Amino acid sequence: MNVFSAIDPLFMLSGFVVGLLVGQTGVGGGALMTPILVLLFGVHPSTAVGTDLLYASATKSVGTLVHGLNHTVDWRIVGRLAFGSVPATLITVLVMSHSSIGGPGSGRIISLLLGVMLLLTALSLIFRARFLRLTGPMLDRVTPGQAGRLTVITGVMLGVLVTLSSVGAGALGVTALLMLYPRAPMALIVGSDIAHAVPLTLVAGIGHWWLGAVDWPLLTSLLSGSIPGIILGSYLSAHIPDRVLRPMLAAVLCVVGARLVF
C-alpha cells in the first residue's frame, strides 16, 4: 500500500512518454527525462541526473529484452562499448566524489553541461544523414580491427559524458555506431545501443547513489510509467517512420538545451 501511495501520477506519465520514445528511437532517456525533472518539477540537477541514470538502466533493461527477443542486438558491439564505458564511468564517479558536486554552485554547472549535451544531441539528430554521407568514403576504409578499437574509444567518451549529464547514450551513441558499422541494419544499431546503455547507466547510477544523488520515491514513480512505455515503443518502432520522429525530437531538444544554457 505504501509503495502505491508513493507513486506520483505526473511523474508516472512523464516516465511513460519518455519510455515510449526510447523504445522507438533509442533516444530520449537522459535527453528528455533529466530536463523534465529539472525544468518542470524543480528537481536539483545532480539529483535529476543520478535518479535518471538508474531510471534509464531499468527502463532500457526492458527494451534490451524486447530487442533481444527480436534478434536486434549485436552483443559483440555491446561488449566493445562496455569495455570502454564502464571503466571510464568508474573513474568519472571517483573524480566527482572529490569535487563539490553537492555544493551551491553545482546545480548551475550541471545544468550548463546538460544544456550543451542536449544541443549536441539535437545536432546529431538533425545532421546525422549529412554527416554520415560526408564521412562515408573515409569510414569505408576502416578495417574491422580498427572499428573495434574505435568502438572501445567511443565507449570511453560515452562513459564520461553520460556519467556527468545522463545524456548521450542514445543519439550520440547511435550516430557513432552508424559511422563505425554503416552496413548494419538500423534496428540492430538501436538495439545494440540500448543494450549497452544498461551497464553504463547502472554503474553510473550506483555511483550517483553512493554520492547521495538519487531520489528513490521519484524513481519508483518514473519506472511505473516507463516500463510499459518502452515495451509499447519497442514494438511500435517498426511502424513509425524515423524521419517523422527525429525532427520532432531534435526540435524539443534544441528548445530545452537553449533554455538550460541561457
> Residue 209: pLDDT above 70?
yes
Distances (CA, A) of 25 to 41, 178, 249: 25, 14, 10
Cα angle 61, 193, 27 (rounded to 5 degrees) comes to 85
Cell triple for 20: 515510449
Say how far apart CA 221 and CA 202 lie, in whole Å.
Answer: 18
Q: Which pLDDT does position 80 carry in this prediction?
A: 96
pLDDT at 63: 77
Give the pLDDT score at 203: 95
Classify 6 as helix, strand or coil.
coil
* Residue pLDDT, tens place only, 210-248: 988 899 999 999 989 888 887 887 777 656 666 666 676
Vertex 30: Cα angle to 98 and 55 (nearest 5):
85
Residue 87's pLDDT is 97
**Domain chopping of the chain, boundaries:** 2-257
Q: Which residue has the higher pLDDT, 225 or 101?
A: 225
pLDDT at residue 233, rounded to an integer = 79
Q: What is the CA radius of gyration of the chain?
A: 17
Between the alpha carbon of residue 218 and those of residues 15, 16, 21, 35, 124, the distances in Å are 10, 14, 20, 14, 30
Whole-angstrom Cα distance, residue 92 to residue 85?
10
71-80 pLDDT, tens per residue?
A: 889 999 999 9
Q: Is the pLDDT of residue 189 over 70?
A: yes
What is the Cα–Cα distance from 85 to 79, expressed in whole angstroms? 10
Half-sphere exposure (Cβ direction) of 135: Cα atoms closer than 13 Å: 16
